[in-house]
Homo-oligomer: A and B are copies of this chain.
Amino acid sequence: MLIVMNRGASDAQIDAVIHRIREAGLSEHVSRGVERTIIGAIGDERRLEPETFELLPGVEQAMHIVKQYKIVAREWHKEDTVIDIAGVKLGGNAVQVIGGPCSVETQEQMNLAADHVAAAGCKLMRGGAFKPRTSPYTFQGLGVTGLQYFRDAAKRHKLPIVTELMDVRMLDTFMEWDVDVIQIGTRNMQNFDLLKEVGKVNKPVILKRGMSATISEWLMSAEYIAAGGNHNIIFCERGIRTFETAYRNVLDVTAIPVLKKETHLPVIVDPSHAGGKAWMVPALSRAAVAAGADGLLIEMHPNPCEAWCDADQALTPQELKDLNGTLALIAQAIGRQLNG
């Protein structure tokens, strides 16, 4: 950690900072410049918090130099992590498109959806049994019944399933139904108790970015999961909140190369929630794959007009199939393989 003193900070003030560094078991390195004295704390700086220095008299600013995340950091784990999802590889050379409806509605709808997902060449399937909805008066998901429909539909094509966990009390149920990938949604990215619990199980976790979460906070949330022992974490960029009102969210493609630099874990993108409209999905999907994403979470509904929620963002089966065709070429252009 670096502590920058105010211009004209007194020797006594500098000593107080040094005293506190030593108290924490670290040592100091003092650099007296023309306009500022800067004090470096040498040792494991994760044990220090900038705020405890910033309130000392004469201190202008204190900042961490070393990143606060460790297990998820590429700095400590150079090679890409490839996650095995019931035999399907996510990360590395392959780019996986995970298709399926926003929410589980009926057994028939899920069977049909699974047929189309498999026919489009996807190796993984998504669908929501528990739905986070802004309004308490709208459809909240089928719950456990939905898990059952999903499990049954997917096993006909041996598709591993991805579904969202909202309530920590449902984790056991998720394990019983053998959900292959647990999704932590945007609104729960900093639900720390939930993160701690999924950190204790052995299932891969998709961690969606909070609506206005910084890259650093997102990595720290992954670190919460990793610290519990579960290192099978997949980041999912799903659009961030900005001032723009012409579309729901702004898909942050820059996050893809930045995350790939900061962490060894895979990064996927959800173009459906980002734009909020089906007609935007192909362009956003192509951009994500071109930028280096390891996968996509795409909403597809057997009959979008009849979908029970987010109807306007689901692709038709044919659109998904066509999109996969284009994405395969883009993946190839950058030396990767789609749905490999």
The answer to whether A136 and B246 have CB atoms under 8 Å apart is no
User: A36 on the interface (CB 8 Å rule)?
Assistant: yes
User: A89 on the interface (CB 8 Å rule)?
Assistant: no
User: A40 on the interface (CB 8 Å rule)?
Assistant: yes
Residues of B within 8 A of A173 (CB): none
**Stretch binding the partner chain, chosen from A108-116, A127-135, A146-154:** A127-135
The answer to whether B254 and A274 have CB atoms under 8 Å apart is yes
User: A101 on the interface (CB 8 Å rule)?
Assistant: no
Complex partner residue of A253 from B65, B196, B212, B284, CB under 8 angstroms:
B284
Complex partner residue of A55 from B133, B245, B305, CB under 8 angstroms:
B305
| Chain A window 315-336, contacts with chain B (Cβ cutoff 8 Å), 1 for yes, 0 for no | 0000000000010011011100
Complex partner residue of A66 from B35, B49, B256, B309, CB under 8 angstroms:
B35
Q: Chain A: how many interface residues by the 8 Å CB criterion?
A: 102
Closest-CB distance, A260 to chain B (whole angstroms):
8
The answer to whether A40 and B33 have CB atoms under 8 Å apart is yes
Complex partner residue of A242 from B44, B190, B242, CB under 8 angstroms:
B242
Residues of B within 8 A of A211 (CB): 210, 212
User: A258 on the interface (CB 8 Å rule)?
Assistant: yes
User: A294 on the interface (CB 8 Å rule)?
Assistant: no
Main secondary structure of the interface of A (DSSP, over half): mixed
Complex partner residue of A38 from B35, B40, B278, CB under 8 angstroms:
B40
**Distance, CA A333 to CA B216, complexed state (A):** 34
Complex partner residue of A31 from B31, B138, B196, B214, CB under 8 angstroms:
B31
Pick 15 A–B contacts, CB within 8 A, sort by A: A7-B75, A33-B40, A33-B42, A52-B312, A132-B190, A136-B220, A166-B191, A214-B246, A216-B246, A243-B243, A251-B254, A261-B279, A283-B290, A286-B292, A326-B333
Q: Other than A246-B258, A253-B283, give 7 A-B pairs with Cβ distance below 8 A.
A: A46-B137, A241-B243, A242-B243, A242-B252, A256-B287, A286-B334, A326-B333
Measured CB to CB, the residues of A under 8 A from B are 2, 4, 7, 29, 31, 33-36, 38, 40, 42-44, 46, 49, 51-52, 54-56, 65-66, 68, 75, 132-138, 140, 166-169, 187-188, 190-193, 196, 210-212, 214-217, 220, 223-224, 227, 239-247, 250-254, 256-258, 261, 274-275, 277-280, 283-284, 286-292, 304-305, 307, 309-313, 326, 329-330, 332-334
Enumerate the 5 nearest inter-chain pairs by beta-carbon distance, A residue then B residue, closest first: A329-B333, A212-B212, A290-B290, A286-B290, A187-B190
